Structure formats: C-alpha cells, structure tokens
Structure 1
Amino acid sequence: MTVREEATAAADRVRWEAAAVGRTARNAVRYSGPERDTMVQSLKAAGAAIAAWALVGWWLRAPQALLAPWTALALVDATVYRSLRSGLQQYAVILVGTLAAAAALSLTGENTLGSMALVLPPLVLIGTYRRLGTQGIYGATTALFVITYSSNDSSQIGNRLLETAVGAAIGIAVNALILPPVHLRSVRDQLQRLPRESADLLHAIAEGSREGWSPADAQGWHDRARRLETILSAVKEARSRSAESTRLNPARKLRRLETLQPPPAADDRWSSVADHLRAITRTLGAVAGEDSPLTPPGEAFFTCYADLADGLADLCAVEARELGDPGTSGEDAGQGEETREEAARRAREAYREVAESFRGQAGTAAAVGGGLLVETRQLLSTLAGLEQEEQEGQGEAE
C-alpha cells in the first residue's frame, strides 16, 4: 500500500469515526435510550463533583478538598446499588491507603521516596484484589496524596477520611435522588439498536451495490457489522443491570416502570443476524477494488441485490419501531403487522429476483454470488421466515 493509499484509508477511518460520534450524539438528543442515559449520568457525576468541592473546598475550606470531588465523581455509577457498594469499597481502600502512608512516613522519618518505596508495592498489589473491583487502585493513589504532602499527624489523617466520606455521601445522594438510574427499559433500548444499526448498514450496502464500492467502503461495512457484537454484549450487560438497578433504588417506587423486556430468545435471533451480516460484508470486501483475485457477479445481479438489501433494511426498520413502541394495540398494532408483512413480502420477492439473476454465473463469480445468496437467504429467514412461506407454498401446490 502506497503512502497516498494509507493516507486515504486513514482519512476514511477518521470520517467513519466522526460519523459514528455524530450518530451517537443525535441518538442522545432524539431517543430515550442508552446514549441519553450516559449523557445524564455524566452530567450528574460532574454536578456531584462540583457540589462536593463547593461544600468541602469553598465553604469548609478544607486543606485537601480534592478528595471530596474526586470521590463524588467516581461514585455516580450505573446503579444506586453499585454506587453504595463502590462507596464502601472505596472508603475501605482509602482508609487502608491513608493509614499505610501515615505509618510509612513515621517509619522513614517523613522521607517521601522511602515512604513510596515502602508502601506503594503492597498497596498496588492489594488493589488488584478482584472483590475490590475498580476501586482497588484508590488505596495507592490516596497513599500518594498523603505521602506527597507529608500529612501523617492524626488531625490531617482525620481530615482526609472526612473529606472522602463527604464526597462519597454526595456522590451516592446525587445518584440516588436526582434522576436515579433505572434500567428496566435498557434491554429494549439496547436491543433496538441492533435493528436500527442493521437497517442503516443494509441501506449502505444497497447504495454501494447500485453505485459501486471501494475497499474502504467494504471495510467500513465490515467494521459496522462487527460492532453489532458490541451491542449484543451491551444487551447482555443490560439484562444483568436491569435486575440490579431496582435494588435500593427509590425510583422503583417513585416511577412505576413496569416495562416488559423482550425475551432472551431475541438476543439469539439478533446474534444470528449479526453473524450473517459479518459474512456478507466480508464477501463484499473480498471482491472490492480492481486488484481482487475474485470476479464479482454482473451488474444485473447487484442491481437485484440492492433491492433485496433495501427490503431487508425495511424489515429491520419495522422491528426497530416495534421495539421502540411496545405498547401499541388495536388498530395501530394491526397496521404495524401489515407493514411488517408488506416489508417481508417485498424482501422475499427481491430474493427470488436475485436468485434468478444468479443463474448463468460461472467461475469465481458463481462462488461469490453463491456465498452472498446463502448468507442472505439465512438472514432473510431469520428476519422474515422464508422457510415457513416456502413450506406453505408447497402445501398449497400439493
């Protein structure tokens, strides 16, 4: 690859990343979902840190007020239960770090380098203890604060612990009382991202099938398909977090959130969709560019394939809307079912046209087209039940 090609590829990656950031920002503004929850929690954490500094540093004028906002910032966690658990863990390791640093200063005659050499190795090792979670490192960092300022007398140690306790109390209170996070809808929100992202990807593939695509385009599609696995992991995490988020959370009573979660079988279904999309984008990448050793099927094949990709994207978009509005009933539910059936019918017809255009392919073009047909057929079956329709058609013929 030449320097110019590397620069072009790097620019494409930067543009792709910027577009992904833009999509995330738009989702945070437009949709009530994980992106907006992340934004709210970030603002709460910043607010808790500012409040802790205002109380301890500005009003009480504590000498080491930094510990209060630092602790408050860390304890605005994903759930109230997790904030309380993290608060206890952090306070325990900070207590150990403070006392160990004070003892090291006494033993070394307040020699900073000697105290660090004495206390940091065991504290860093203790910080790796699994049950301390992400809070373990705070023991060593607290010891650094104490050793750096040589604050080993009892009054200064008491101030450090008091500042930490105040910061922890503020962080936990902000998380529990100001828009306390309840993740009962998180599973649905995360799962909705799968059909939404899949629809966007399939529309991009359809456009590329009509107009042609470059290796950079194909790599971008494949990266987007692989990132669906990240969303699936987020769905799994959301299922665990949704149960945890109701523990010790006042919002469970203040806001009656009884959102029905999609069944776990939906996770397996979309995992299958992600697998097929990765295979499709990998095949498209193999025939991208003039240097490819494989011959792609003809223009007629990809014209039909573009219609199929658009049909599959419409199916994904319908499912994304259904996941976003699970409470529809009556006439609206009937219209939604009709929309789904119409999208499925168009996708099946488009698949038949692609299969018809595949006839006459030979050599590597047949291998590429066959690979796309197999994966797309399985994708269509997952989304629209192609086998079921074929079986019904065979039954009618008999």
Structure 2
Amino acid sequence: MIRPAREAWQRVRWETATVGGSVRRAFTGPGPERDLAVQSLKAAGAAILAWAVAGWWWKAPLALMAPWTAVALVQSTVYRSVRTGLQQVVLIAAGTVVAAAAVGLTGDTMAAMALALPVTVLLGNYPRFGDQGLYASTTALFVLVYGAYTGFDILHRLLETLLGAVIGIGVNALILPPVHLRDARDSLCRLPREGADLLRTIADEIRHGHDRGQAQEWHRRARRLTGRLAALRDARTWTRESLRFNPALRIRRQAPPELPSTEWDAAWERVVDHLTSLTALLAEAAGERPRFAPPPDDVLADVPPLLYALADVCETDCAALSRPAGPAPDRRDRDEAMDRAWEAHHRLKARLAEEAGRDGETATSVGGLTAETRQLLHDLENARVH
C-alpha cells in the first residue's frame, strides 16, 4: 500500500507542477499557454453574451441553446468556427425535427425517445459531421425532456441556435482572432535547436570516451526528432487553416513573416534519418561486445570537430528562423561552419583510405561513419533558411 500511495502522490505533485508552470508561462509571455487562456476566456464571454441576449433580454423558451452553441464555436481557428457552426445548425435542426416528428407519431415521450434517438445517433456518426455529431441526439433529448414539440417551438430552437452561432463566430473572429503562425515557427526552431544540442552532446561524450549506454541514448534522442517532424506538419496545417476567413490579416499593418517552404521540412526529414542511422552505427560499435569493430580512437578523434561544426550550422538556422520580419540575415557564419564541417569530413575520409589498407573490419565501421556524416552535410546544405 505504501508504494502505490507514494506513486500516486508523485503523480499529483508532477501534475500540480505542470499546471503551475503552464499558468506561470501564460502570465509571463506569449506562447501556447497564453493562447489557450485567451481562447478559454473568449468562449466563456461568448456564452455569457449569448445567454444575456437569449435568456435575459429575449426570454427564449429554451435559451440554453444559444450559450451552448456559442461556447462550442469559439474554436482554434475562425475557419473551424464557421465550419463547426454550419455543422451544428444542421444537426440541431435535424435533432429538433426528428424529436418533434417522433412525438407526433407516438404521442408518448418514452416511445418517442425509442424512435428518435437511434435515428439521431446514427445521423451524428456520419463522418462529415466529425466531433459535432453528438449535437443531433442531445438536441433531441432536450426537445423531448422539455416537451417543446410545436412548430413555434421548433422555430425558436433554430433561432436560438443561430443566435449562439453568430455570437460564437463573431467573438472568435473579431476579438483576438487566433493565428497559429507562432506555433509553426516554434516547431520549425525546435528541429535545428534540438539537433544542435544532440550533435554537441555526441561530440562532447566522444571526446571524453563514451560507452554503449550513452550511444543508445543518442539514438533514442535522434528517433524522438521524428516526433518534432510530425508536430511541424500539424503546425503547418493549423497555420494554413487559421489564415482562412481571418480578419486579423487585414487589421495588421505588417504581414507576418513567411515560413520556409516544405522543401525545408523534407531536407530536415532526411537529416533526421541520417542522424538516426549515425547514432545507431555508433551504438552498435560501442561497449564490451560490439556487433562490429569500433572505429579506432584516432579516427573517432576526427568526429567531434565535424559534429561541432554541424551543430554551429543548426544554431545559425535556428537564429534565422527566430528572427522577426525583415531583411534576410547574414549567412557568412553558416557558410564558415559548413566549410569547417567539410574540412573535418575530408580528414575522416582520408582515415577511411588508411583503414582500408590495414583492417577490413574497422574499415567497415569507418566507412559507415564517413557515409552517414557525408549525407548529413549534404542534407544540412539543402536545409538552408532563405
């Protein structure tokens, strides 16, 4: 009992610290946490406004429909608000009509539920409606439970829904309309920043003597970079969607800086593939029982300068991606780092020629090392930020 209680307490502490960190970041600077807080406050404000109009001023018979719709339509993008609003209007209208028809046919609430709910649940599962499908069946339940079946009641349901949709979409579009460009730029920066950190770690630990466990950790970190690529693809999709129907673009005096083309993503996908292969090779050639002969120490001594230079290239790219809109940065530092990387690779290639004449087994590992680092060099050249 003591161990589960301790683990549960640790989870609670970790969750509390995570929530506290998110709250602190929301107050201290722009970022995903602040964006989420703004969207949450907008949703709450839209629901209050919808209730004030429908319930307090209009005194609608089922005023709940207006704030219920409004709070759901403050979505992550203006385009998604419009699309979701159309879906909800269709589903709520369908749920209302089906429920009223079921009562007209049966004359009994219980029998009407048995008739209406299977139809509305099936309608809600239509793929085109996505996550909004639940509104058809829940609207039918509201109508049946509240006993609002007449043509006047149906008209009110539709008007209340339309009111909530207009308020929700209007609040999302006119009050700090969401733009996900910052999320995409942050995802872009993460790849070269984390790539540079990994390259420096590998170089440092090779210089001081690494073991198999360290090499396996390099491989795990390289594989985690594929998750950054997936996050970047998602962020680009959200950015494209957030720019549709967004009035903020007309309000801004200066257009936001453009993102690099998707060719940059493809180049980094190849960088991650070769970095993963390189770390796998180093892991398999390390330890007391390596799967193949490890590179000689004098060959490994030529690897850190190459990796340090590649890390410098990644860091200059990260700095270029982080810059505000304006003229292109001076890329002489990147060119100088690439030159140093190629010089170090030429030394490594010369070592391969020497090892080929001495020991075929070590030549295999040195050849793999030379090939993978060469591919890294070519791919990082193609990943230049313009």
Alignment TM-score > 0.5, same fold? yes
* TM-score interval, smaller chain: 0.7 to 0.9
TM-score w.r.t. the length of structure 2 is: 0.73
User: Which residue of structure 1 lines up, in the alignment, with residue 378 of structure 2?
Assistant: 381
Pick aligned residue for 2:334 from 334, 340, 343 = 340
Contact 1:45–1:171, Cα closer than 8 Å, also in 2: no
User: Which residue of structure 2 lines up, in the alignment, with residue 83 of structure 1?
Assistant: 81
The alpha carbon displacement at 1:126 in A equals 2.9
Pick aligned residue for 1:272 from 267, 270, 273 = 270
Matched, 1:231 2:231: yes
- C-alpha separation between the residues in 2 aligned to 1:315 and 1:50? 47
Pick aligned residue for 1:56 from 47, 51, 58 = 51
The alpha carbon displacement at 1:223 in A equals 3.3
Contact 2:196–2:311, Cα closer than 8 Å, also in 1: yes
Consecutive unaligned residues in structure 2, runs of 5 or more: 1-9
Percent identity between the two aligned chains: 41
The alpha carbon displacement at 1:75 in A equals 1.9
Helix, strand or coil at the partner of 1:181: coil
Give the 3 Å change call, closer, same or farther, for CA 51–28 of structure 1 in structure 2: closer
Larger Rg over CA atoms: 2
Residue by residue, what CA displacement relative to the aligned partner does 1:269-311 show, whole Å, maximum 9, x if unpaired? 2232233233334444545766763454345544543443332
Helix, strand or coil at the partner of 1:297: coil
TM-score w.r.t. the length of structure 1 is: 0.71
Contact 1:190–1:234, Cα closer than 8 Å, also in 2: no
Contact 1:51–1:69, Cα closer than 8 Å, also in 2: yes
Contact 1:218–1:288, Cα closer than 8 Å, also in 2: no
Residue by residue, what CA displacement relative to the aligned partner does 1:86-144 show, whole Å, maximum 9, x if unpaired? 212211112112222333344444444x5454334433443344543443343234334
- C-alpha separation between the residues in 2 aligned to 1:29 and 1:366? 56
Q: Which deviates the most, 89-98 or 53-62?
A: 53-62
Task: State how many pairs are aligned.
Answer: 361
- C-alpha separation between the residues in 2 aligned to 1:162 and 1:97? 14
Pick aligned residue for 1:193 from 190, 197, 200 = 190
**Pairwise CA RMSD:** 4.4
Helix, strand or coil at the partner of 1:136: helix
Contact 2:25–2:34, Cα closer than 8 Å, also in 1: no
Contact 1:52–1:68, Cα closer than 8 Å, also in 2: yes
User: Which residue of structure 1 lines up, in the alignment, with residue 115 of structure 2?
Assistant: 118
Contact 1:49–1:68, Cα closer than 8 Å, also in 2: no
In structure 2, give the amino acid aligned to 1:231: A
For residues 1-398 of structure 1, what are the structure 2 equivalents within 5 Å? 35-36=31-32, 39-41=34-36, 43-53=38-48, 55-56=50-51, 59=56, 67-112=65-110, 114-147=111-144, 152=149, 160-182=157-179, 188-209=185-206, 210=208, 211-212=210-211, 213-214=213-214, 217-218=217-218, 220-234=220-234, 236-237=236-237, 240-241=240-241, 245-247=243-245, 249-261=246-258, 262-284=260-282, 286=284, 293-325=291-323, 327=325, 329=327, 333=329, 336-356=330-350, 359-360=354-355, 362=359, 366-384=363-381
